[in-house]
Structure 1
Amino acid sequence: MALDTVDRDLITLLQVNARESTANLARKLGIARTTVVARLARLERDGAVVGYTARLGSSAGVPAVQAHVGITLQPKSGRDVVRRLQKLPELQWLSSVSGEFDYIAILKAETTARLDQLLDEIGELDGVIKTHTSVVLAVRVDRNAG
């Protein structure tokens, strides 16, 4: 499905606030409310928009520490390492990547002490050669609803 500029702008507005009324979305986009409703229905039907969610703020008990972890593996150990990483509830996202690392993980932990434990656990997994961690200091743009 090809998205035009209005579709992309609509999706961006929804990523900022998925509860925005169709009337407000229409006003911000400069189109009719019925056009917004029709486009939303099409985006949902075609799978461009697959759901709406609530993001919890820090007062709701969302983990306070987030880190991006580059993980370098021994050859042929990826499947086993991924299987073990999936068991960590603090693992939010894991992607295989090109470049210096084999995988990039995003971890969210309650405390820096728990993050430190997680990093030790990951570093001790069979097949992990090294990790490189960057702790998130501030999120400047967040268009993900999860």
Structure 2
Amino acid sequence: MDDTDRHLLSLLQANARESAALLARKLGVARTTVVARIARLERDGVIAGYGVRLGQRLEHAAVRAYCGLSVAPKMGSAIVRALERLPEVEELCAVSGQYDYMVFLRCETNEQLDALLDRIGLIEGIQHTHTSVVLSRKVDRRTAVAPPPAA
């Protein structure tokens, strides 16, 4: 991957529906070059798919939280399956340290988060949870970044 690929990826992360022609203008390359690069990045597994990012209105209205989970031995697979069924679970990671898993949760209200945490706590095999509510996001590198100035 070169700088053009990285810049293309940042543009696609900001708006995956951007036309190849507009991407080409922003990158200063031919439209066919953009199409070929996207195809190669998909084929090489660098681009695994396309999704929807929530807009600021919905993002700022959400109650987000990180929840650390300590689980009983040999219960990880069942717990992962149970958490996969909860639409409020946005991300689940196995981690090292004090907890076995970290879950990123997104709810519409504090009451919904409270009820969700009760449901999570009742999942068989979860021994302990610790939740931190997100107050604000200070850095978000998932948005498009302008390319460095040309030398």
Instruction: Name the TM tier (shorter chain).
Output: 0.7 to 0.9
Give the aligned CA root-mean-square deviation in angstroms: 2.5
Given the two structures, how large is their TM-score scaled by the length of structure 2? 0.78
Structure 1 residue 113 corresponds to structure 2 residue 111: yes
**Unaligned runs of at least 5 residues, structure 1:** none
What does residue range 83-98 of structure 1 map to in structure 2 within 5 Å? 83-98=81-96
Separation in structure 2 between the aligned mates of residue 58 and residue 15 of structure 1, nearest angstrom: 15
Quote the residue 1:70 is aligned against. Answer: 68
Residue 63 of structure 1 contacts residue 109 of structure 1 at CA under 8 Å; is this kept in 2?
no
Per-residue deviation, residues 73-132 of structure 1 (Å, max 9, x unmatched):
122221222222222221122121112210111111121111011112222323222112
Q: Retained in 2: the 8 A contact 1:91–1:105? A: yes
Q: Which runs of 5+ in 2 are unaligned?
A: 144-151
What residue in structure 2 maps to residue 50 of structure 1?
48
Give the partner amino acid of 1:107: L
* Cα distance change, pair 111–58 in 1 and its aligned pair in 2 (3 A): farther
Q: Which residue of 2 aligns with 1:141?
A: 140
- Percent identity over the alignment is 54
CA distance in 2, matches of 1:44, 1:63: 33
Question: Structure 1 length as normaliser, TM-score?
Answer: 0.80
Q: Which residue of 1 aligns with 2:123?
A: 125
- SS of aligned partner of 2:33: helix
Residues 43-71 of structure 1 show CA distances to partners (whole Å, capped at 9, x for unaligned) of 12333223333334365799721211111
- 2:99 is matched with which residue? 101
1:15 aligns with 2:13: yes
Change beyond 3 A, Cα 1:87–1:63: farther
Asked if 2 retains the 8 angstrom alpha-carbon contact of 1:73 and 1:128, the reply is yes
The size of the alignment, in residue pairs, is: 142
